[in-house]
Amino acid sequence: MAHAAPATRPDRPPAVDVAANLAAVNAEVQEAAQAAGRSADQITLIAVCKGHPASLILPALAAGHVAFGENRVQEATEKWRALRADWPGAALHYIGALQTNKAREAVAVADAIHAIDRPKLANALAREMERQARRPDCFIQVNTGAEPQKAGALPENLDRLVAQCRDDLELPVVGLMCIPPAAEDPAPHFALLREFAACHGLECLSMGMSADYRVAIALGATHVRIGTAIFGARPAR
């Protein structure tokens, strides 16, 4: 008598070959860089592992990848405390909106913070960097689309914020970051961010995600933030 196949458990995601996905994305980054007349060595691929368990990050670490992205301070702290014990060379990029009351934890866990968008946060980070004697690289997030629901300094406030961060607080500002509006062509936003960075003498551009990183690379991205293409869809919280 034939038996019906067991139903697939809805809470069990399909297996993801992280190492193969990572190799494929690295190859595409290299191809996009060559098409833009650039070297792939100029581009840092941030593997965004937010929401994913440490077990899914291990294959990327074992494959030699070193740059990872998280967007929740508590999750990053808990996850990377153990991972860094075995993988001290890993670099953690904090890429989410950051509350001022999380500045202490962010400075403690992150090697780069892509989230400075207001003076109050800049002040909090400066205090913590002095207190902890840690100086993670800083990116100022720009709300290029002036979206009211999105974090990021408005373009008209950027000059003042850059001056405060670099001149008054002496933060290690290395570049700018943006997330274009989802319904718009990202190219004008990436071009605008590049223009802002050039005006301020900043070399790093954190822009481009799974859906648009090729465009970002063509327009000068130095850091691309890719999660789904490497780790698959995030599990429901």
User: What pLDDT sits at residue 81?
Assistant: 87
> Residue 146: left if φ>0, alpha if ψ -120 to 50, beta else—which one?
left
Give dist(CA 99, CA 21) in Å, integer.
32
Q: Which residues pair with 137 in a beta bridge?
A: 112
Burial class of residue 136, CB neighbours in 10 A (0-12, 13-18, 19+): buried
Whether residue 13 has pLDDT greater than 70: no
pLDDT of residue 16: 87
Exposure of 159 in the CB half-sphere (CA atoms within 13 A) = 2
Burial readout 33-52 (b: 16 or more C-beta within 10 A, e: otherwise): beebebeeeebbbbbbbbbb
Neighbours of 169 (CB within 10 A): 19
**Confidence at 7, pLDDT banded by 50, 70, 90:** very low
At residue 237, the pLDDT reads: 64
Please give the Cα distance from 81 to 181 (Å, whole number). 34
Q: How many Cα neighbours within 13 Å face the side chain of 20? A: 4
Confidence of residue 182 (pLDDT cuts 50, 70, 90): very high
Mean pLDDT of 28-46: 97
Backbone φ and ψ for 4, nearest 5 degrees, come out as -70, 145
pLDDT digits (tens, 9 = 90+) for 195-216: 999 999 999 999 999 999 999 9
Residue 122 reports pLDDT greater than 80: yes
**Percentage of the chain exceeding pLDDT 90:** 89
For the stretch 78-107, pLDDT in tens is 999 889 999 999 999 999 999 999 999 999
What's the CA gap between 193 and 187, in Å, rounded?
Answer: 10
Using an 8 Å Cβ cutoff, are 213 and 183 in contact? Answer: no
Distance CA 125, CA 80 (A): 20
pLDDT of residue 225: 98
End-to-end CA distance of the chain: 40
Give residue 235's pLDDT: 76
Q: What is the model's pLDDT at position 15?
A: 82
pLDDT digits (tens, 9 = 90+) for 143-169: 999 999 999 999 999 999 999 999 999
Structure confidence at residue 233 (pLDDT): 86
How high does pLDDT run on average in the chain? 93
Asked if pLDDT for residue 186 goes beyond 90, the answer is: yes
How would DSSP label each residue in 82-101?
HHHHH-TT-EEEE-S---GG
**Residue-wise pLDDT tens digits, 47-63:** 999 999 999 999 999 99
AA identity, residue 237: R
Q: Locate 209 and state its tokens.
A: 């995600």
pLDDT on residue 14:
56
Chain centroid offset of residue 156 CA:
24
pLDDT at 6: 43
